[in-house]
Amino acid sequence: MKKIISVLVENKFGALNRVATMFSGRGFNIHSISIGVTEDPEVSRMTIVTSGEANILDQIIKQLNRLIDTIKVVDLSAENHVARELAMISVNYQKGIRSEIMNIVEVFQGKVVDITIKSITIEVTGPPDKIDAFINMVSPYGIKEVARSGLVALKREEQVVVRKKEVHIA
């Protein structure tokens, strides 16, 4: 079973290392980990994709909570959430296949970020399966390099239903 865990940590020296050390020391899997500062400069958000049996996933969340630098741990898989990944894929770009590649890029709403006579680098964002699909589609042309960001995710906020009569226009 896969799980997406969002961890808010104090933006301090060694915080990422503590999390990584805990995972490796206890033999837990990390599929991807991404980290960046939040709206509060003293707090960073880690988005961790992990997998394991239910009791292992339960331990992972408890062990993350146990770290002193950890402020909050949210199991996003248990909630309505939105998750995205960014990838850059560099592909062979010889004559004869260029229009085919551009078609695929367009279908996936990719963005060309670098281009030469021999190669093209495309940026794709979306859920990981979309990126997998894109990579699958361009791989017959010869992939040179792939860089993936790992997943970032946020909880979806509750939808507020706005009734007409409650809308006041000033």
Partner 1 sequence: MSQTGKELNGAEIFLESLRKEGVDTIFGYPGGAVLGIYDKLYDCDFIHHILVRHEQGAAHMAEGYAKATGKVGVVLVTSGPGATNTVTGIADAYMDSIPLVVFTGQVPSKLIGNDAFQEADIVGITRPITKHNFLVKDVEELASTIKKAFFIASTGRPGPVLIDMPKDMLAKTTRFVYPDQVDIKGYKPTISGHSQQIKKAAAAFRKAKRPLLYVGGGVVMAGAHRELGLLAQEAGIPVTMTLQGLGAFPMTDPLSLGMLGMHGTFWANMATENCDLLVSLGARFDDRVTGNTETFARNAYKIQVDIDPTAIDKNVRVDLPIVGDLKSVLADLLTELSEKPVQSDYSDWWTMIQQWKDACPLEYDNHDGKLRAQFVLQKISEKVKGQAVVVTDVGQHQMWATQWIQFDHPRSHITSGGLGTMGFSVPAAIGAAFAVTDRPVISISGDGGFQMNMQELITAAHHKLPVKFIILNNSFLGMVRQWQGLFYKEKFSFTDLSASNPDFVKVAEAFGCKGLSTDSPDEVDALLDAVLAYNEGPVLAEFKVVKEEMVFPMVPSGGSMRDIMVKRLDPNRLV
The dihedrals phi and psi of 21, each to the nearest 5 degrees, come to -65, -40
List contacts with partner 1 (CB under 8 A): 9-10, 13-14, 17-18, 21-22, 25, 55, 58-59, 62-63, 65-72
For 19, 29, 30, 158, the CA distances from 26, given in Å and listed in that order, are 11, 9, 11, 35
For the bound state, the minimum distance from the C-beta of residue 31 to partner 1, rounded and expressed in Å, comes to 21
For the bound state, the minimum distance from the C-beta of residue 65 to partner 1, rounded and expressed in Å, comes to 7
For the bound state, the minimum distance from the C-beta of residue 170 to partner 1, rounded and expressed in Å, comes to 40
Residues 6+ apart with CB under 8 A from 170: none
For the bound state, the minimum distance from the C-beta of residue 26 to partner 1, rounded and expressed in Å, comes to 9
CA distance 106 to 39: 33
Residues 137 and 104: beta-carbon distance below 8 Å: yes
CA distance 99 to 101: 5
Residues 70 and 41: beta-carbon distance below 8 Å: no
1 vs 143 by CB, closer to partner 1: 1
66 vs 98 by CB, closer to partner 1: 66
21 vs 109 by CB, closer to partner 1: 21
Task: Name the helix (H) or strand (E) containing 134.
Answer: helix 128-138
68 vs 170 by CB, closer to partner 1: 68
For the bound state, the minimum distance from the C-beta of residue 127 to partner 1, rounded and expressed in Å, comes to 30
21 vs 139 by CB, closer to partner 1: 21
